[in-house]
Amino acid sequence: MSILHRLIAFLALVCLCLTGQVGQAAEFRNGEDVRVTSPVSDNLFAAGSKLIIAAPVDGDVIAAGFNLDLKSPVSGDAILAGFDLRVAAPVAGDLLAIAADLDIKGSISGDARVTGAEVRLSHGATISGDFSASGGEITLEGDVAGDAQLAAEKVVIAGSIAGNLDVAAVELELLPGARITGSIRHTGPRSVPVPDGVDVGGTVEFRAKETLDTDSPGLMTLLGTMAALFILGLAVLWLFPALVAGSSGAIRRNPLGRVLVGLGLLLAVPPLSILLMFSVIGLPLGLLLGGLYLLAFPLGLAVAALGLAESRQGRNGRDGPPARVLGRFALVTLALALVSLIPYVGAIGLLLAVALGLGAMAGAVLNARRAG
């Protein structure tokens, strides 16, 4: 199995450990292309680049993959993480899901707590409990038997909610045919009138707020931030192992110096990019620098987390197994995710971490050029 698949498997293992189910009976599947086609009588732990669960699972499912498709019933809870995630089968317990693109098409007998850049509860899908979701855009076309708590830049309601709807959104759209048996409590920059064809059984309350924390609730923010940083770090480690190794060495030798170099880059690149754009010859380079500057923040943060995890290993004077490094990396991502929740202090802490990563990368590149 390649290093990428081992890393994906480790991510699923972290989820498994956090749920406290390590000691229970389970069936393990991992690889590049994993297809579960025969019934599973225990809990299922699965990880792969492409993962399809096409057979019933008589227990819980804990799974992670870049492309994850749940096509068969699960008699317990489902804990799922991936980039492209489809839940097209019934889940008898609760659903916890983190994905870039999440589509729920089946029935969830318990509660559903999800986060993603795009979240859809498709037409015909049902949630028998409460529905909590956060992300960039949330579309609710199915039916929720309990309450719905939604936080996103844009929320579209076209289905039914038997309980109350609590929504924090910059843009809220209520489509004809939508039905909310309870009340609507909307927080956003402007009120949204209830159009004809939308049935609301309770009251409609609006609280004006120009700036919204659309990543709430806090737990989903924490899980989403940690998962995104962890997955990005895995990709960087897979694509640029030499860069990560050189960056960790630079952090180990002079962490303060790396932070100062990174802050210098963050301050110098924007004006340099603007100056280049004023000349015809320098315009392409200026645009390139501007694009790289936007990528610098998530990349610097991931490299800083990886570098701190590997530099700690180097100070211990032993290499150790890869899982030990990844375990420390998981703890570093958790610490950064927690820091991000602290007002003001969190922003400063993340900025310093980004600077550390950028400065470490710059030191690694310079050292590689000198050695070459």
Digit-coded pLDDT (tens) for 16-26: 444 444 444 56
Give whole-number Cα distances, 338 to 152, 229, 365, in Å: 20, 12, 30
Q: What is the per-residue pLDDT for 226?
A: 63
Whether 6 shows a pLDDT value over 60: the answer reads: no
Average pLDDT over residues 224-229: 64
Q: Evaluate whether 100 touches 79 at the Cβ level (below 8 Å).
A: no
What digits encode the pLDDT tens for the residues 307-350? 887 765 544 444 444 555 666 777 777 777 767 767 677 788 88
**Inter-residue long-range contacts of 101-106, CB under 8 Å, 24+ positions, other chains counted:** 102/135, 104/142, 106/70
Report the 10 Å Cβ neighbour count for 199. Answer: 12
Cα(251)–Cα(212) distance, integer angstroms: 36
Q: How far apart are CA 329 and CA 79, in angstroms?
A: 21
Rounded distance between C-alpha atoms, residue 11 and residue 284, angstroms: 39
Please determine, for residue 244, whether its predicted confidence score (pLDDT) is greater than 50.
Answer: yes
> pLDDT over 90 for what percent of the chain?
34
Mean local confidence (pLDDT), 84-91: 94
Query: For 99-144, what is each residue's pLDDT tens digit?
Result: 878 999 999 999 999 988 899 999 999 999 999 998 889 999 999 9
Q: Looking at 218-222, 292-296, 298-302, 362-366, which range is the least confident one?
A: 218-222
Residue 177: count of CB within 10 angstroms of its CB: 13
Write the Ramachandran bin of 207: left for phi over 0, alpha for psi from -120 to 50, otherwise beta: beta
What DSSP state is assigned to residue 179?
E
Which pTM value belongs to this model?
0.58
Q: Is the dihedral of CA 154, 104, 100, 344 positive or negative?
A: positive
